[in-house]
Structure formats: C-alpha cells, structure tokens
Structure 1
Amino acid sequence: MDAQHRVADFFDRHGFEGRPAYQALDLASEVGEIAGDAAKSTTYGEHPEELAVKTDELGDALFSLLSLCNSLDVDADEALTAAIEKYETRIAERGDPGSGE
C-alpha cells in the first residue's frame, strides 16, 4: 500500500473526514515547524551546514500533504510526476528549475 492510501486508510479507520481548508492550514503549520527547525539549527542561515530537521516533523508535513491530496481527490503520484516533468522542461529550456517569477 502506498503512502497516500495509508493516510486514507488511517482516516477511514478513525472516522475522520477530510476538510481541505483545515488540512491546507495544518500543512502550512507543519512546514512552518520544519522552517523553524532549519532556522534554529543553522542560526538563521549563518551555518547552513548545520541543518537539522526532525524526522517526525517531516513525517507530519507529509501526512498533512497526503491528507490534503486525499480530500481534494488528487493523486499525489500523478501530481509529483507532473511537477517533475515541469521542472525537467524548465531545466531543458532555461537551465534552471525555478519558476522565474
């Protein structure tokens, strides 16, 4: 069973309903905790080589993202494939994966 289905199964087993607006806010909060770890461990970017992010925070963010995908009926693997293709195209066209915006 892939990660997205494991999250959906967890919701089903516990009778949770996906509420996209709540899940989007939860995802932002979890990513903020990762950013907090990064800021603190690198002394706000002064020492990037000392980056330390807690594995459980990464897991929380991944869980939140997959929950959001499920509640919006988005296949996470298809979304990831599309994103990689977009970045590959940008690299081929401009030599950089950034959006340029």
Structure 2
Amino acid sequence: MKAQRKVAAFFAEHDVEGEPAYQILDLASEVGEIAKDAANSTDYGAAPEELDVKTDELGDALFSLLAVAESLDVDADEALDEALAKYEKRIEETGDPSSGR
C-alpha cells in the first residue's frame, strides 16, 4: 500500500518509530477524536444530518493505523483483502457483513 510506504518513509526520515503497544493506544485516541467530532457536530446524535468530521482527524487515525501495521510487519493491503474476504463470506452466509448476528 502506497500509504503504508509513506508512513514507513516518514518514520525513517524522522527517526520516530515507536513501540506497537503505544501506537495502538495512539490509534484509539485518534479514533476517539473522530467520535468527538461526530458527537459534537450532531449534538450527540440528535442531528445526524449535521455530521462533520474533520479530514485531518481521519488522516491522523489512518496514519496511526498504518503505523501499527508497519511496526507489526503487517502488509495493510493484505490485511484489508483478508477483511474484505471475511465480510464477503459473512454476507454469503448470513446476508449481513457484521459479526453481531
């Protein structure tokens, strides 16, 4: 994935690669920022049509996720393909991609 290579290059250039456990905590924090945008912009769900999530927050979460993948030596493209195959199988079996059924 081109984006994962960009993250790897950024780490190499700035010597900022961290421990995966800390990167996972950072990822959770970044996803929390997206949820905060959603909660604030929709008045905690009362006005869903007002949803406004900042693109830089999405970028931060994506960066963090790709950083975790890179640190764990996981190819993000392969992980995505695996997830899509899992969802396709669930749809075929249950008609729904979620695991909650």
CA displacement, residues 52-97 of structure 1 (integer Å, 9 cap, x when unaligned):
0000000000000000000000000000001011111111110111
What's the counterpart of residue 68 of structure 2? 68
**DSSP-derived class of the 1:66 partner:** helix
Q: Note if contact 1:26-1:64 (Cα within 8 Å) is conserved in structure 2.
A: yes
Q: Which runs of 5+ in 2 are unaligned?
A: none
What's the counterpart of residue 57 of structure 2? 57
What's the counterpart of residue 92 of structure 1? 92
Matches of 2:51 and 2:64, distance apart in 1: 23
- The amino acid across from 2:91 in the alignment is I
Question: How many correspondences in the alignment?
Answer: 101
What's the counterpart of residue 6 of structure 2? 6
Matches of 2:92 and 2:18, distance apart in 1: 38
Matches of 1:57 and 1:17, distance apart in 2: 20
Matches of 1:34 and 1:3, distance apart in 2: 20
* TM-score normalised to structure 2 length: 0.95
Q: Note if contact 1:18-1:70 (Cα within 8 Å) is conserved in structure 2.
A: no
**DSSP-derived class of the 1:97 partner:** coil
Q: Runs (4+) of structure 1 moved beyond 3 Å? A: none
Q: Note if contact 1:18-1:68 (Cα within 8 Å) is conserved in structure 2.
A: no
Q: How does 1:32-47 map to 2 (within 5 A)?
A: 32-47=32-47
**Aligned-residue offset at 1:29:** 0.2
**Aligned-residue offset at 1:48:** 1.1
When the two chains are superposed, the root-mean-square deviation of aligned CA atoms in Å is: 1.2
